[in-house]
A and B are shown apart, each in its own frame.
Chain A
Amino acid sequence: MYWNQHRECLPREQLEEMQLARLKKVVERVYYNVPFYRQKFQERGLEPSDIKSLADLKNLPFTTKQDLRDNYPFGMFAAPMSEIVRVHASSGTTGKPTVVGYTRTDLNNWAEIMARSLTSGGTTKDSVIQIAFGYGLFTGGFGVHYGAERIGALVIPISGGNTERQIMIMKDFGTTVLACTPSYAIYLAETLEKMGIDRSELKLKYGIFGAEPWSEKMREEIEKRLNITAIDIYGLSEVIGPGVAIECQEKKGLHIFEDHFIPEIIDPVTGEVLPEGEKGELVFTTLTKEAFPVIRYRTRDLSVLTRKPCPCGRTHIKMAKVFGRTDDMLIIRGVNVFPSQVETAILEVAGVEPHYLLVVDRVGSLDELEIQVEVSPRMFSDQVKGLEDLERKIKHRVESILGISVRIRLVEPNTLPRSEGKACRIFDRRNI
């Protein structure tokens, strides 16, 4: 099942020719429009004309999440503001989000790759697709939405939450494709069972799941309990959002749409490009984006690339399901969470450098985040009211930064684990 067979099955030679032409253009675009890139290139004595082959990509500087943060909110935009028609945002490493922009052309390209992704995941013009990814600044909902509309499927833009209503609609509207996070899919399955709804009352055939890491074990469970084919979708807002890569029905790796993105795998420590087949950090260069192109963006996601021909016929390179992260980012209910964000919030509220621990648990199938904060003598007054106030303020601040609900638990000083003097910030009890 292809959306754009010509492009998705383009012979490698032609694909690489196209990539080089596009790479030259995007390098020119950032050089002349984004002071950050221009300065970085000049520091290395590079000019756009130095890109003569795809192999020259490795000479270009990396872009990091920190760079995006330093240029908050619109400093990385490479198109005039009047051409920007949409922004989305994801969590930054501290209080400020990372803002990404789209021109009309970008939205058009995004819809194209999402149409390819959804088609690969079983969606057709006749599908009824229930989009239970969040709509809003998060790219998930809108990304899937425009791809599904492009295909001409019937779109149910239900967004996340209100599970019983999701199920009622799934049943009454005859949903055939479900798009959401894998953990929410499991939660839906559990709720179905609880509500006593038999699987035969649903028309569900395919699920397209992403925005958080999930294992093969989880796939088996989802496929069994919902009796569907579950497909992994990959993306990140810094690159475009969902649709950077998608599994085909082989379910053995995700095809990266190489006419729009060039992936590399690097050694996260040295930054060296690693040969095909070696595990390392995924790095992306966008080839067609106008508003927010990125050059060698370090995703911090660990994966491996392979060019082995795929029985599905697509010629685009494949990445393995993401194994993990090179940093301490957590994904909770599809939302990126950095311990440093929590630290900033507590510091703002309590006025002291906190000792804290993020405890992530999967209760039923939903992720819960508890933040344990050591009460330091400076935070402690004789009053219970004062402590409850502190608890409430931290909760409020953290929730407004992260955008997910959390539980705060005050604990006694020196009770949180420390290793080699440095505090351990994360205790992930989820068995993903």
Chain B
Amino acid sequence: MVESKKNAVYSILVLLPSVILLLIFVYGFIGNSFYVSLTDWGTGAALRENPVKNFVGLKNYRELFTGAINARFRQDLINAVFYSLFLVVGTLTVGLFLAILLDKGPKGEHVLRTIFLFPMALSFIVTGTIWRWVFSPKGGVNLIPTWFGMERGKFLWLSSREQVLLFNWQNILQIIALILFVIFALVLYSGWKNKKRTQITWGAVLSGVMLFYALVLHNILPPILPYEESHGFSLATIGIIIAAVWQYSGYTMALYLAGLRGLPVAMYESAKMDGAGDLTYYFKIAIPNMWPITLSAIIIISHISLKLFALIFSMAGADNASTGHPSVLMYLVTFRANNFAIGAAISVILFLMAALFIIPYLIQSYRARR
């Protein structure tokens, strides 16, 4: 008993430095960034070490979402959503496809796995520099159509200003409400199918609220911007998305391959016995059984997609507005324009977006460990 008490004391003492460091550097700093984002960082004192900061409430956030000079932030936010979406869909599809191919047992699997995974070991700066050349106007990608007898491509991969899927920023809340409506309606539907009372209630209430906002409230409330502002999917981000999918597909492949190998052989054999082909096996049996892997892959890749700073920086440059991302803007605003308060507000928004994925994930893994 005495011995184990001594152990606990030693453990806590040895752990203490790490605990204190993380308390300051993680939790304290996050709190500090939150606080800075609510101040003006002292007017005209950007570079002073300890300016007298004035508390301004949510003004910086209001500026970012509705201020005239911060249109780039809003486009960056849209870009971030598309980066995440395409990165998740791209890496999951390519990774799953590669895993299935390797699961069929071609010779040289070790070499193939090495080739598909090596981009992950490299820095975004290294791969970004190479892809920047590949996609540059002199870099050869636009020559590929000529191999098939077509005309040389004209697309400006990293500097195009074209946008598709355009919408007006004044309608952003309406669009979000409609998306949430669809999600809650699906919750309602699945609750109705499984006859779960509480799920039906919540699904009905929430989807009703969203629909009410989108169709009625949105038209009554004053617009969040006094003028129309067009945003959309920037085509210049396609090159960066391709590079990022290239770099991270090996990772999802490794996850899925481990998953496929973990499924019992009997599952495959009984499917064969029932006359199922390979396609049926993979799509009807293997993939649904790997749902936990898919879920953690989605969380991890979404989280990686918020860390594209270095890739965007090296492929398109920090100043390129069409390929922007909040993380790049945070760098520009804070370290080039010395506007620490707005920079902190952007970092808080980025943090909240990441927290959306991290916190459920950590809670789930905490429960799994216990």
Decide whether A and B are members of one complex: no
Instruction: List residues of chain B with CB under 8 Å of any chain A CB.
Output: none
